[in-house]
């Protein structure tokens, strides 16, 4: 069975977020979230110097293709105003048994254990959609994401094409046993 969404999560410092599937009208919220991320975090997520997401990318991000893509956001309350504080997604090529994840947490919300919870939900969704493996490309210097992936049961291997990147990969099917949640 897939994850039950929306879900309310309590973070380490007591703040709470709603986790729900992304919606078509999340474009502005997603753009704002990227705008609130540090240069370093944006670089880690996009592997490039990205200041804003282009309209075609926003359109794609907010319209996951059924069966092949899945995306969720975490919505937090900052001074009475709701805003997107994290996003996580996977995508796959048609017919593939492997999906590729990407995740970003706005800097003010990092270090609260949010990413492992979102990864867990993402893996449950991927498993429910019949995927057998989940993988991700992570910059070699991204020790936070590599450590997190390792704790969640992902292998961490060199990318034969690119020494600046590691490929983390995990079989699905036993997702409930993942650590770090
Ligand atoms: C990597 C990332 C997803 C981790 O999310 P998170 O919710 O902070 O995860 P956790 O709270 O479990 O922390 C994971 C690790 O990051 C460290 N960390 C978290 N926030 C940090 C911060 N602001 N500064 C330094 N270290 C931090 C934690 O101490 C922990 O380190 P450890 O592995 O040595 O224990 C998040 O930092 C992020 O979005 N980074 C930018 C985008 C990115 O790198 N995406 C992954 C590529 S697909």
The CATH number of residue 112's host domain is 3.40.630.30
Tell me which residue range forms the domain holding 40: 7-132
Residue nearest to atom 43 of ligand 1 (CA): 45
What residues are paired with 49 via a beta bridge?
A: none
Kindly report the protein residue whose alpha carbon is nearest to atom 47 of ligand 1.
Answer: 45
Q: What is the mean pLDDT of residues 104-108?
A: 97
| Ligand 1 mean position, distance from CA 10 (Å) | 17
- Residue 40 in domain: yes
Q: Predicted confidence band at 177 (pLDDT cuts at 50, 70, 90)?
A: low
pLDDT of 175 strictly over 90: no
pLDDT tens digits along 5-55: 999 999 999 999 999 999 999 999 999 999 999 999 999 999 999 889 999
Determine, yes or no, domain membership for 165. Answer: no
Q: What is the DSSP letter of 110?
A: T
List, edge to edge, every strand of the sheet that includes 133-139.
7-10, 16-21, 69-78, 81-91, 98-105, 133-139, 162-171, 155-159
pLDDT at 178 over 70: no
Closest ligand 1 atom number to CA of residue 86 = 39
For the chain, count helices (H), then strands (E).
Answer: 5, 8
Q: How many domains, in total, are found in the chain?
A: 1
- For the CA of 105, the closest atom of ligand 1 is 39
Q: Per the domain annotation, does 138 fall within a domain?
A: no
What pLDDT, in 10s, does the model give residues 124-145? 999 999 999 999 999 999 999 9
Mutate to test the pocket of ligand 1, among 11, 40, 73, 110 (most ligand atoms within 8 A of CB): 110
Across the chain, mean pLDDT equals: 95
**Domain presence at residue 28:** yes
Within 6 A (CB) of ligand 1 lie 41, 44-45, 102-105, 107, 110-116, 136, 138, 142, 144-145, 147-148
Instruction: Please tell me the predicted confidence (pLDDT) of residue 180.
Output: 46
Distance CA 139, CA 145 (A): 9
152 falls within a domain:
no
- Give the residue whose CA is nearest to atom 41 of ligand 1: 41
Residue 156 domain-assigned?
A: no
CA distance 19 to 85: 10
């Amino acid at each position: 069975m897939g994850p039950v969404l929306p879900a309310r999560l309590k973070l380490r410092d007591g703040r709470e977020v709603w986790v729900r599937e992304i919606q078509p009208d999340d474009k502005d919220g997603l753009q704002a979230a990227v705008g609130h991320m540090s240069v370093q975090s944006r670089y880690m997520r996009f592997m490039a110097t990205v200041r804003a997401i282009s309209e075609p990318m926003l359109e794609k991000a907010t319209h996951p293709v059924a069966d092949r893509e899945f995306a969720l956001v975490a919505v937090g309350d900052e001074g009475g105003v709701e805003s997107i504080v994290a996003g996580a997604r996977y995508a796959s090529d048609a017919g593939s048994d492997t999906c590729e994840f990407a995740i970003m947490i706005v800097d003010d919300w990092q270090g609260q254990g949010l990413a492992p919870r979102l990864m867990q939900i993402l893996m449950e969704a991927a498993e429910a959609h019949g995927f057998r493996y989940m993988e991700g490309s992570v910059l070699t210097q991204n020790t936070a994401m590599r450590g997190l992936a390792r704790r969640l049961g992902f292998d961490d291997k060199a990318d034969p094409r690119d020494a600046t990147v590691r490929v983390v990969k995990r079989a699905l099917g036993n997702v409930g046993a993942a650590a770090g949640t």
